[in-house]
Chains A and B, each alone.
Chain A
Amino acid sequence: MKKLTIPEEEHMLSGHTACLGCGATIAMRYVLKALGKNTILSIPACCWAVIPGVYPHRTLDVPLLYTAFEVTGAAISGIREALDAMGKEDVNVVGFAGDGGTADIGLQALSAAMERGHNVFYIMYDNEAYMNTGIQRSGSTPMGAWTTTTPGGKKRMYKWEPKKNVAEIMVAHNIPYVATATIAYPEDMIAKLRRAKEIKGPKFFQILSPCPTGWRHPPDKTVEISRLAVQTNVFPLYEVINGKYKISIKPKNPKPVKEYLRLQGRFRHLTEEEIEMIQKNVDDNWKALLKKERCSQEE
């Protein structure tokens, strides 16, 4: 006898080639637990293109189609329409891409797929840089982070542009379901995926998955950092159903952003003033989100 808070079924096998303490594998594990075996995945070039191992090995229990970097959106649209033509409307079609393949390279195909309104899931697992190719800066890299293409130095060459908010870009497409989730809250993530499964139309998820290799933190802190991202309001968890915002977790006393930043080597160089600046940015974003929730609920 056991009391579990998430489904016991397992569709991700052991023996994959992810790094120690990889957040993206935990995200995939929960996604497949929630959606079940009746799923087809499409994965572009990203960490997950490497994790299942080389041919003839497989790690996932579901069919998986590899695509080029920029066409995940087009690939899932095609799979969906083909399945619909064959009358298999109960199959979940999922695009599972990293932040580079979503926020930068794959944005046009994603935007087109969302606009056409195919009944698909698009899941962006956000590890905040091109981790697979060696930690290059992406549009989703947060403010102040070190990467190999923003290596720092005397002339402040760290990434100082704010993180691109892909979830908001998707809300602007007026799709029925947009949500953010993170690996430290599996019950929340699985409840959201199940809710989305009942909705017909394009569904977008942004899942924050810490990367020990690129974020420069010890592998055992993966889940702790992901939890801190929510408790410090750096990565708020919310869902947008037909334009109505609902914040899933509102921390009563948000922790200072410093606690989140100090655990990661990529933010090691930050001075007190710079941390102050990031704190202000996080507070502003949180206030704007609260306002959006209030305004969209009023109507």
Chain B
Amino acid sequence: MSVLLPEDPTPIAKVPSTENKTGGWRTFRPVIHYEKCIRCYICWKFCPDAAIYFASPEAHAAPKEALSKFDTVEINYDFCKGCGICANECPAKAIELVLEESAEGDEE
């Protein structure tokens, strides 16, 4: 008995899930207040969506001169689902959750 194989026998998932913009799920939008941010990267560490990324130190003003050489963090609103873990864990209370409707237009 011969075995029939499809032409491309190994179905490999090739499309990265970054095609899938989960930002639309969001109810509350986390907004970073950079004048309070101490650049500890705890928000980056605990983000379940890996939606927080690093930006250059000059991108945002630092609260103190000593912090100005460290990288800043930014939130990718295409993927942030608005769970609020970053705001809850932030030791400096620099992240505020804003209702999505009222935040619309502030960032874009």
A interface with B by C-beta (< 8 Å): 1-6, 10, 12-18, 20-23, 25-26, 29, 52-53, 55-59, 183, 186, 212, 218-224
Contact = CB atoms under 8 A, between A and B. Distances in A.
Given A22-B48, A220-B83, A4 B16 contact: no
18 contacts: A2-B39, A3-B70, A4-B45, A13-B17, A14-B17, A15-B18, A15-B79, A21-B85, A23-B48, A25-B48, A25-B49, A26-B46, A29-B48, A29-B50, A52-B13, A53-B17, A219-B83, A220-B84
B19 A15 contact: yes
Contact of A58 (B15, B48, B83): B15
Interface of B: 11, 13-22, 25, 39, 41, 45-46, 48-51, 54, 57, 69-71, 76, 78-79, 81-85, 87-89, 97
Contacts of B57: 1
B14 A58 contact: yes
A21 B83 contact: yes
A2 B25 CA distance: 31
A218 to B, nearest CB: 8
B82 to A, nearest CB: 7
A15 B21 contact: yes
Given A1-B69, A26-B46, A220-B83, A58 B17 contact: yes
Contacts of A59: 16-17
A13 B18 contact: yes
Contacts of B22: 14-17
A55 B13 contact: yes
Given A15-B17, A15-B18, A6 B45 contact: yes
A14 B25 CA distance: 13
A214 to B, nearest CB: 15
Contact of B18 (A14, A18, A186, A212): A14
Contacts of B82: 20
B83 A222 contact: yes
A18 B25 CA distance: 11
Contacts of A16: 17, 20, 22, 49
B45 A186 contact: yes
Contact of A223 (B16, B20, B76, B85): B85
Given A1-B70, A14-B17, A58-B14, A222 B85 contact: yes
A4 B41 CA distance: 7
A18 B50 CA distance: 12
Nearest to B39: A2
B84 A21 contact: yes
